[in-house]
């Protein structure tokens, strides 16, 4: 018997992850690495305590000037971070 409805394993796993409601937490888990990739190691040195809560990335920035610059770029950063994470992990960034 020949199967004609075969799907690749990655598609099946992706569908299962979405059905179980695990896609958002998995993408959120990728945020610290996406942050380093998008913003580079220099900015990463000045950031602490990163957490995704209810679709918002909360980041503590220890340099006031950098915090202000990131605040002004936050909408573009959301898009770049989501691209780096591989999906819509966050909708906003809160800097403290």
We report the CATH number of the domain holding residue 52 as: 3.30.300
Q: Is 56 inside a domain boundary?
A: yes
Residue 10 tokens read as: 């990655």
Distances (CA, A) of 71 to 5, 18, 30, 31, 77: 48, 31, 21, 17, 9
Q: Print the domain residue range for 88.
A: 24-95
Q: pLDDT of 34-73, one tens digit each?
A: 999 999 999 999 998 899 999 999 999 999 999 999 999 9
Residue 19 is predicted with a pLDDT of 78
**Cross-strand pairs, 33:** none
| 40 CB-contact burial (10 Å; exposed 0-12 / middle 13-18 / buried 19+) | exposed
93 phi and psi angles, rounded to 5 deg = -125, 135
Q: Is 13 inside a domain boundary?
A: no
Q: Is 6 inside a domain boundary?
A: no
Structural domains in the chain (count): 1
Q: Is 83 inside a domain boundary?
A: yes
Q: Is 5 inside a domain boundary?
A: no
Residue 17 tokens read as: 């992850």
């Amino acid at each position: 018997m020949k199967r004609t409805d075969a799907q690749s394993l990655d598609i099946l796993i992706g569908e299962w992850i979405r059905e179980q409601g695990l896609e958002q937490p998995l993408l959120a888990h990728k945020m610290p690495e996406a942050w380093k990739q998008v913003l580079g190691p220099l900015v990463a040195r000045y950031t602490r305590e990163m957490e995704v809560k209810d679709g918002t990335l909360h980041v503590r920035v220890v340099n006031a000037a950098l915090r202000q610059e990131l605040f002004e770029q936050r909408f573009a950063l959301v898009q770049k971070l989501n691209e780096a994470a591989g999906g819509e992990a966050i909708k906003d960034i809160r800097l403290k």
